[in-house]
Amino acid sequence: MPLDGLTDDEVRTILLGTRRIAVVGASDKPNRPSYGVFGFLLDRGYGAIPVNPALDGRSVHGMAAVASLEEAGPLDMVDVFRRSEDTGPVVDEAIRLGAKSIWLQLGIWNEDAARRARAAGIPIVMDRCPVIEWSRLRLPPRVPAGVA
């Protein structure tokens, strides 16, 4: 069983039911995983917003970065590229802002933050990459219109 305890159907529902994603820790450097994942999300038809105070106002794949998660709202999912120990405040902010799901990237997990998200009724994916999950679950080329 995966670390986050989510089934394939639950991950599929999150990916196909999401429309707007804030990518915390997005980078404008092509060699960074967050740059590639951000581009992938845009290519799949998501409304994605890069969140990184160091990039405020700069472009990532043609999208203007914002400095804070609050500036990215409203949002469905918060996708996090931060060290595990730095995810707690991001998860708390996502909860406060009413995110519908939280996604912690490969190698990232924080069980305390996950408990808080679950207690708020928000599913949290941990230690997974949407690019890998998309392929593994054989999802369509783009998110279907009208689902959410």
Per-residue model confidence (pLDDT) at position 144: 79
What value does the mean pLDDT take over residues 64-70? 97
Q: Which two tokens stand for residue 55?
A: 């990039």
What value does the mean pLDDT take over residues 114-124? 98
- pLDDT band for position 148 (cuts 50, 70, 90): very low
Res. 91: pLDDT tops 60? yes
Q: Among 2, 65, 3, which residue's Cα sits nearest to residue 28?
A: 65
Spatial contact of 110 and 104, defined as CB atoms under 8 Å apart = yes
Cβ neighbourhood burial of 57 (10 Å; 0-12, 13-18, 19+): exposed
**Residue 39, CA atoms < 13 Å, CB-side half-sphere:** 12
Query: CA 39 → CA 14, 49, 107, 117, 121, distances in Å?
Result: 19, 11, 20, 26, 29
Q: Percent of the chain having pLDDT more than 90?
A: 90
Per-residue model confidence (pLDDT) at position 143: 86
Alpha-carbon distance of 87 to 81, in angstroms, equals: 9
Instruction: Give the model confidence (pLDDT) of 11-27 as tens digits.
Output: 999 999 999 999 999 99
What value does the mean pLDDT take over residues 69-98? 96
The overall average pLDDT reported for the chain is 94
Alpha-carbon distance of 123 to 115, in angstroms, equals: 10
Looking at domain 8-136, its CATH class is alpha beta
Residues 6+ apart with CB under 8 A from 1: none
What value does the mean pLDDT take over residues 120-124? 98
What value does the mean pLDDT take over residues 80-91? 97
Per-residue model confidence (pLDDT) at position 9: 97
In the block, residue with structure tokens 């999150």: 14
- pLDDT band for position 100 (cuts 50, 70, 90): very high
